[in-house]
Structures are given as structure tokens and as C-alpha cells.
Structure 1
């Protein structure tokens, strides 16, 4: 399935303005906002955090599958899809990021 189709099967993130991704020290390493160009990633990251309790290596693996065609594009063009690049790095390094939500 394509990424757009996969998004239809995830819970809505309309209640969120943004999420912060926090490293093991609690420092914010990234923010994903609910705006054009990021709303799909916000929905996907929020769903993975709800399912896995954080963005764990298992969550990253599942998210990469759901990003579908964009995952291969990210592998071929590092930097083009920073939210996917982050998942690839987490998976390779076995890291986990916690998620802090900001209500809309």
C-alpha cells in the first residue's frame, strides 16, 4: 500500500498541534508540526508512540514499512525526508525517543 493509503488506517492526529521527540536525556531533538508537509509524519509518529509507548526500534521498523514508497526514496536521497532519516538512524543505532504531545 502507498503511504497515503496507510495514513487512512491510522488514528487521526487532528487533536495535536505538534509533537516533540525527546532523547534519553529528555532533550528535544525534533518537533513535528501539524501543518502541510508534516501532518502525515505527525500522524504516523503519534500512532507509533501510542502503540509502542515511544519511538522504539520496533516502532521505527513499523513506521518505515508504513512510509512505503517514501522509505526507499529516503534511502536513495538522504536529507530529503528528515522524519524518515531519523527512523533509519534510530533503527541502526537501537535508540528510543520519547514523545511529548502539544494539543491543538
Structure 2
């Protein structure tokens, strides 16, 4: 289950956000450290630490971490944009994303 998987990931209290950088230099998305996004922040932070970027291999691992939410995202496109992004990278050859950490002050 996602809640159990989340407990095993590194803490993110030191982060304000993560910016996802596409092929250009501008962020394509920001995941903030706030209710409703903190779990995704932890997932993406972990993937960046392990894989160095959100590439196809990282995206597949992320979909495993999201567990039951991945299936819900597949059934309800747009409901879980952070999971939708991983599905696109893992399964639809969307380009990999670089990760920029925004540290808390």
C-alpha cells in the first residue's frame, strides 16, 4: 500500500518543493511540501536521489511506490497529475525530467 511505501522513503522536511525541468530550462511542474502534495514530493525526491532524474526506469519504480493510486490514476485520467506524469514517461515515451530541489530556509 502507498501509505506503507511512503514510510520507507526519506523524509522531506528540508524541502519546500521540487521543480521538474523538461527539455528546456523552465520548470514544467512544481510539487510543493504541503498537504495533498507531500507524498508526491517524497516519491519524486526518492526517485531523483536513486536515479538522478525522472527517466523511464525511475517512473516505473514510482508507479510501484504509488501502489493502489496508480490503478486509480489509470482509471481516472487527470485525477493524479503526478502519477499521470510517471505513466507518460514510463509507458508513452515522454521525455525524462530533471529535478531541482528547492530547500526550506
Q: TM-score range by the shorter chain?
A: over 0.9
Normalised by the size of structure 1, how large is the TM-score?
Answer: 0.96
Question: C-alpha deviations, 1:6-64, integer Å up to 9, x for none?
Answer: 01111111100001000021221000000000000000000000100011110000000
RMSD of the alignment, in Å?
0.8
Aligned to 1:69: 68
Aligned to 2:85: 86
Question: C-alpha deviations, 1:47-91, integer Å up to 9, x for none?
Answer: 000100011110000000000000000000000000000111112
Aligned to 2:103: 103
Normalised by the size of structure 2, how large is the TM-score?
Answer: 0.95
Aligned to 1:17: 16
Deviates more, 1:88-97 or 1:28-37: 88-97
Q: Which runs of 5+ in 1 are unaligned?
A: none
Are 1:5 and 2:7 matched, yes or no? no
Q: Which runs of 5+ in 2 are unaligned?
A: none
Aligned residues: 103
